[in-house]
Amino acid sequence: MNGIWVLLLLLLTATLPAIIVFFCLKSSKSSVTLPWFLISFLAGIISFIVAAIIQPFFPLYKTETFWLVFFDIFVKIAMVEEASRVIVLFFFKKVSKNRWNNIAFGAAIGLITGLGFAAIENAYYGLANINITLLRLFTAAPLHAACGIRAGTAVFTVSRHPVKAFFLFISSVFIHGAYNLMIVNPAIPSFLAILIALVALFASFSYLSDTDDEA
């Protein structure tokens, strides 16, 4: 198959979760319009690029100890990726001024941003093996969706409830790091990582229906 068609197939497959979520949001009368969906998806792509630029600045270690692996997973990967997501969302919120009118909207924007991040990441890994993209649709996509919801909610609430926003950010880093730790540890069954992603996603759904308005 032509390389361009393979790339297009990868991108289409990787974006399926985001497309499905958009139609689900529309059916639930969410205020997320198509332009906002595209903007949010773009925010996910930008946050992926920001994280990819920052991560190479971390030092490489000749030996791997538990604490060095722990640092790489929770700081270099999880914290950097979640921080990049929050920073990009915060910038988009400032640019849009008062368009983020309630928590549900902020959480939905974060959800799509997370899926945008996952789509590009999945397509990137899928370049080596397209089966990886299919696998990550059921693993990494739920993880980034859950963390994205928390990031969007944190950005929305930070001006009024900074402690809550900080907790949401830290919880997303912990969830992301725990997932990655289980993925790389051969002694831990991989289904536990998937379970963490799914539980975190379902636990985050409540933010999508929170109509608390911005002061």
- Write the pLDDT tens digit of every residue in 70-117: 899 999 999 999 999 999 999 998 888 666 678 899 999 999 999 999
* d(C-alpha 15, C-alpha 36), whole Å: 16
User: Tokens 């309630």 sit at which residue?
Assistant: 102
Note every long-range contact of 168-171, with CB atoms under 8 Å and residues 24 or more positions apart, other chains counting: 169/82, 169/83, 169/86
User: Would residue 161 count as lying in a domain?
Assistant: yes
Q: Which residues of the chain have pLDDT under 70?
A: 1-7, 97-100, 127-135, 213-215
Mean pLDDT score across all residues of the chain = 86
Q: Output the pLDDT for position 176.
A: 95
Domain that holds residue 95: 3-209
214 occurs within a structural domain: no
Q: Quick one: which of 165, 136, 148 has its CA closest to 21? A: 148
Say whether 149 sits in a helix, a strand or coil: helix
Round to whole Å and give the CA distance between 169 and 60: 26
Q: Is residue 215 part of a domain?
A: no
CB 183 within 8 A of CB 193: yes
User: pLDDT per residue over 199-212, tens digit each?
Assistant: 999 999 999 987 77
103 found inside a domain:
yes
Buried b (16+ CB within 10 A) or exposed e, 103-136: bbbbbbbbbbbbbbbbbbbbbebbeeebebbebb
Predicted local distance difference test score (pLDDT) of residue 189:
80
Number of domains comprising the chain: 1
CB environment 59-86: b (16+ within 10 A), e (fewer):
eeeeeeeeeeeeebbbebbbbbbbbbbb
Q: How much is the pLDDT for 109?
A: 95
| Assigned domain for 168 exists | yes
φ, ψ of residue 214 to 5 degrees: the values are: -80, 135
Predicted confidence at residue 215, as pLDDT, reads: 45
Instruction: Confirm whether 10 is domain-assigned.
Output: yes
